[in-house]
Structure 1
Amino acid sequence: MLRIGAHVSIAGGIDNAVGRQLDIGGNCGQVFTHSPQVWDHGSIEDDAAEQFRDETAAELAGPWVIHSSYLVNLCTPKEGLREKSRDSMQQEVDAADRLDIEYVNVHLGAHTGAGVDGGIENAIGVIDSLDIPDGVKILVESDAGSGTKLGGQFEHLARVVEGTEADVGVCLDTAHTFAAGYDLSTPEGVDETVAEFDDVVGTEHLDCIHLNDSKHDCGTNKDEHAHIGDGYIGDDGFRRILNHPEWRDVPFVLETPTEDGRSYAWNVEHVTALRE
Structure 2
Amino acid sequence: MRVGAHESVAGGVFNAVESLVDDGGNCGQIFTHSPQVWQDPNIDEEEAERFRTLSDEHGVGPWVIHSSYLVNLCTPKDGLREKSLDSMQKEVDAASQLGIEYVNVHLGAHTGAGVEGGLENAGSVLDDLSIPDDVTVLVESDAGSGTKLGGDFEHLASVLDESTQDLDVCVDTAHAFAAGYDLSTPEAVDATVAAFDDVVGLDRLAYVHLNDSKHACGTNKDEHAHIGEGEIGVDGMRRIVTHPDLHEVPFVLETPNTSEKGFAWNIDRVRELAADD
> What band does the TM-score fall into relative to the shorter chain?
over 0.9
Shift of 1:260: 7.0
Shift of 1:42: 4.6
State the partner residue of 1:170.
Answer: 169
| Residues 35 and 41, structure 1, Cα contact 8 Å, conserved in 2 | no
Q: Distance in 2 between matches of 1:60 and 1:43?
A: 25
Q: How does 1:2-13 map to 2 (within 5 A)?
A: 2-13=1-12
Q: Distance in 2 between matches of 1:126 and 1:272?
A: 38
**Alignment pair present for 1:37 and 2:36:** yes
Identity %: 67
State the partner residue of 1:179.
Answer: 178
Segments of 4+ in structure 1 off by > 6 A?
none
**Alignment pair present for 1:213 and 2:209:** no
Per-residue CA shift, 1:167-188, capped at 9, x if unaligned? 1000000000000000000000
1:39 is matched by which residue type in structure 2?
Answer: W
What do you get for the CA RMSD once the two structures are aligned? 0.8
Q: Distance in 2 between matches of 1:14 and 1:56?
A: 11
Per-residue CA shift, 1:106-133, capped at 9, x if unaligned? 0000000000000000000000000000
| Residues 28 and 64, structure 1, Cα contact 8 Å, conserved in 2 | yes
Q: Distance in 2 between matches of 1:260 and 1:146?
A: 30
Q: Distance in 2 between matches of 1:116 and 1:21?
A: 38
**Alignment pair present for 1:55 and 2:49:** no
| Residues 41 and 94, structure 2, Cα contact 8 Å, conserved in 1 | no
| Residues 96 and 104, structure 1, Cα contact 8 Å, conserved in 2 | yes
Which runs of 5 or more structure 1 residues have no equivalent in the other structure?
none
State the partner residue of 2:140.
Answer: 141
State the partner residue of 1:258.
Answer: 257
Shift of 1:248: 1.9
Which secondary structure state, in structure 1, belongs to the residue aligned with residue 149 of structure 2?
A: coil
State the partner residue of 1:228.
Answer: 227
Which secondary structure state, in structure 2, belongs to the residue aligned with residue 229 of structure 1?
A: coil
Which secondary structure state, in structure 1, belongs to the residue aligned with residue 75 of structure 2?
A: coil
State the partner residue of 2:15.
Answer: 16
Q: Distance in 2 between matches of 1:209 and 1:22?
A: 19
2:162 is matched by which residue type in structure 1?
Answer: G
| Residues 90 and 131, structure 1, Cα contact 8 Å, conserved in 2 | yes
Which secondary structure state, in structure 2, belongs to the residue aligned with residue 246 of structure 1?
A: helix
Which secondary structure state, in structure 2, belongs to the residue aligned with residue 105 of structure 1?
A: strand
CA 138–42 in structure 1, closer or farther in 2 if over 3 Å, else same:
closer
Tell me the TM-score normalised to structure 2 length: 0.98
Shift of 1:24: 0.3
State the partner residue of 1:155.
Answer: 154
1:262 is matched by which residue type in structure 2?
Answer: K
1:27 is matched by which residue type in structure 2?
Answer: N
Tell me the TM-score normalised to structure 1 length: 0.98
Q: How does 1:61-100 map to 2 (within 5 A)?
A: 61-100=60-99
Which secondary structure state, in structure 2, belongs to the residue aligned with residue 43 of structure 1?
A: coil
Q: Distance in 2 between matches of 1:260 and 1:50?
A: 31
Shift of 1:212: 0.3
Shift of 1:45: 2.0
Q: Distance in 2 between matches of 1:147 and 1:266?
A: 33
Q: Distance in 1 between matches of 2:48 and 2:134?
A: 17
| Residues 74 and 108, structure 1, Cα contact 8 Å, conserved in 2 | yes
1:173 is matched by which residue type in structure 2?
Answer: D
Shift of 1:43: 1.1
Number of equivalences = 275
Which runs of 5 or more structure 2 residues have no equivalent in the other structure?
none
